[in-house]
Structure 1
Amino acid sequence: MPDVLIPVHAIKGRGTATRLAHRFEKDTRADWDDGWGTLEADAAEGRPLLETTVSFEDARSAIVRNDSPDIFFDYSLNPYRGCEHGCIYCYARPTHSYLNLSPGLDFETKIIAKRNIADMLRADLGKRSYVPKLLNIGSGTDCYQPVERELRLTRSVIEVLQQAEHPFSLVTKSSGVERDLDLIVPMAADRLAAVYVTITTLDPELARTLEPRAAAPHRRLRTIRTLAEAGVPVGVSVAPQIPFVNDDMEKVLEAAWEAGARSAFYTVIRLPWEVAPLFKQWLALHYPQRADRIMARIQEMRGGKDYDSDFASRMKGSGLWADLIKQRFEKTCHRLGFNRQRVELDFSQFRPPAAGQASLF
């Protein structure tokens, strides 16, 4: 990867400030001061807000099978490529490189929607070889990011799962999941659905820079309460844990428990491929005085590297600092009562969709 360049300024509403060249790109370019003060002028005046564009693709299948031993679900489904939430730490950013797009600003502003995702899901479920197992929606990019309000692809997926009585779990940072309670609540009553809401921090200022277009922390807590009061099994994800950045894990867990969450999990920050230089840019921009200290702790959990993809440690890290985070999480969960009863979904109700069933569109 090229040397990390420090952006001149943050872009309002975006997680990263650059269109970092992806790892397959042959040519890289960067702004440089030509002596006319143009960079300083841009910083003083501010650049125009970047608009989000949406393009469409026809997926060849809907379900991705998981063979990673450190992931709790067997299948995953993502209606969108890219995510407007703009979380700077997102491990899915490098997937935009395969589209010849930047994992930086392009990942946040160029969203690809799989417009036939519901039809492909129905076809996958109808195959004779299909065996129902736990299917997770939104494991890569958030299935309730802003564009879902209009496109309703996630809702169409849940409708197919409801018709087939297929269990699923769902992970989101968005209050948009509340829109689909009319589908999720009856499925939850039949042990066919569970929802997990990610709350990285309760600090609104930190959340605004770390996850600029995701729902505010207090709004996510309200979503947990709404789900729990409706009878939906709801958990909280306090991921990722970033040393010296979001150090309020205990407070997040306490607030989530009070709101009604009864299960919890965490991961430590992962910096694969282009995520590492993007995150270093973000640190230099927002935490210049402690950037080196933060990266030193991250590298300490990764055997001295920015990232280690070993299945045994990629989610939780290793070493003293990783052990400390683990102890904090486990002791807080034990004190509050998290994870005492596992959510068991019922796969015996699954009914393959009828052949030739009409499209939802």
Structure 2
Amino acid sequence: MFFIKEVFASEFKSFYKNVQGNEGDKCKYSTRLDTYGCGCQHNCDYCYARSLLSFRGFWDAANPRVADIRKVKRKINHLQPGNVIRLGGMTDCFQPCELKHRVTYETILEMNRCRVGYLIVTKSALIAEPEYMDILDKELSHIQITVTCLDNAKAMLYEKCSPPSQRIEAILRLQEAGFDVSIRLSPIIESFMDFEKLNGIGIEKCIIEFLRINPWIKQWLKGVDFSEYTVSQGGYRHLPLSEKIRIVDKIRIPEKTVCEDVTEHYLYWREHVNPNKEDCCNLRIYQGSGV
């Protein structure tokens, strides 16, 4: 038992990982670099990473593990220019402790220097503050800001992130400045989202990802009719494809793409919805940038 726990510890405490299996097979950007790990101060009730790490006793939302920037820089220096690495795979690289430790800030500077692309996934408005916008390289950076609900008070019941209104402002600020930025509706839960308001904001790109539930998420997340989640794959339960299609049709953002876990559903989105069949993140890659 001690050996098994140590194997899991090595797996989930590593700041750099190539994701394998069902998720890695579908994701074009399956290499992740977590500047903070084994806990996230946002502590979202729907978070699959929280459920995985809580189950194994590795989740500490109050005191996330801080990556050693010296090791991070050494790893980046061994990457080939032109790669795109995901920042924020198991935890948020812009969670509040970034203001103290600045590991993400230093990581971005090093990736710029080495000409390695980065896909930032965050629920924080911090990324659109001037000190970060000043260092984001438009030829290397791709930004996805997650929003699950447009009601500030309701969102705070299940996620301890920047208020949705601030995240929306951050998306529009980055979009106006010419960055490759999308709103990430992840997870999209129909009863949580005001679709009319969402469609009227003026956001140009979105990524849609549906809720997947396991016993931990089912225990934490309130206000969801879990009886609708009748499809089973990969240890999670999912909505049927017909329900997903109905919900996606309610989203009128001009450029939309779906990130999917269920293999049959993934094939449907790839063939019928996603603008880029080889890249469900639909990143805007600059020609001549080396990325």
TM-score w.r.t. length of structure 1 = 0.62
One-letter amino acid of the counterpart of residue 198, structure 1: T
For residues 143 and 209 of structure 2, what CA distance do their matches in structure 1 show?
Answer: 17
1:267 corresponds to 2:217: no
The residue number in structure 1 matching 2:262 is: none
Q: Deviations over 1:151-185 (max 9, x none)?
A: 1011111011011011111111111112311110x
Q: Secondary structure at the match of 1:201?
A: coil
Distance 1:278 1:79, change over 3 A: same
Q: In the TM superposition, what are the counterparts of 1:47-196 in structure 2 within 5 Å?
A: 62-67=15-20, 68-80=24-36, 81-97=38-54, 100-101=57-58, 107-114=60-67, 116=68, 118-127=69-78, 130=80, 132-177=82-127, 178=129, 179-184=131-136, 187-188=137-138, 191-196=139-144
Supply the distance in 2 between the matched residues of 1:315 and 1:197 (Cα, whole angstroms): 25
Question: SS at 2:156's partner residue?
Answer: helix
Kept in 1, the 8 Å contact 2:81–2:116? The answer is no
Structure 1 residues 196-345: aligned runs within 5 Å: 196-211=144-159, 213-243=160-190, 245-255=191-201, 258=202, 261-272=203-214, 274-279=216-221, 283=222, 287=223, 294-297=225-228, 299-300=229-230, 302-303=231-232, 308-309=233-234, 317-329=239-251, 332-333=252-253, 336-338=254-256, 343-345=284-286
Greater RCO, 1 or 2 (C-alpha within 8 Å, sep 6+): 1
Q: What is the letter of the counterpart of residue 26 of structure 2?
A: D
Seq. identity, %: 20
Deviation at 1:248, TM superposition (A): 2.0
* Displacement after TM superposition at 1:254 (Å): 3.1
Secondary structure of 2:168's partner?
helix
SS in 2 for 1:270: coil
Q: In the TM superposition, what whole-angstrom CA distance separates every residue of 1:320-341 from its partner, at most 9, and x where no partner exists?
A: 3223223334xx23xx455778
- CA-CA distance at 1:94 after TM superposition: 2.8
What's the CA shift string for 1:280-305, capped at 9, x where partnerless?
Answer: xxx2xxx4xxx6xx0111x23x24xx
**How many pairs align?**
254
Q: Secondary structure at the match of 1:109?
A: coil
Which residue type is aligned with residue 204 of structure 1? N
Q: TM-score, normalised by structure 2?
A: 0.75
1:342 offset after TM fit, Å?
5.2
* Distance change in 2, residues 1:152/1:216 (3 Å): same
Partner Cα separation in structure 2 for residue 273 and residue 111 of structure 1: 23
Which whole-Å deviations, capped at 9, do the CAs of 1:306-357 have from their partners, x for residues lacking one?
xx328xxx7974343223223334xx23xx455778511468648xxxxxxx
Structure 1 alignment gaps of length 5 or more: 1-23, 26-56, 351-361
Distance 1:206 1:161 in 2: 36
Aligned residues of 1:167 and 1:347 also touching (Cα < 8 A): no
Residue aligned with 2:200, SS: helix
Residues 194 and 146 of structure 1: CA distance in aligned 2, closer, same or farther (over 3 Å): same
Q: Secondary structure at the match of 1:266?
A: strand
Q: Which has the larger strand fraction?
A: 2
- 1:140 and 1:205 map into 2 onto residues whose CA distance is 25
Using the alignment, how far apart are the partners of 1:317 and 1:133 within structure 2? Answer: 33
- Unmatched 5+ stretches in structure 2: 258-274, 276-281
Distance change >3 Å, CA 253–CA 137, structure 1 → 2? farther
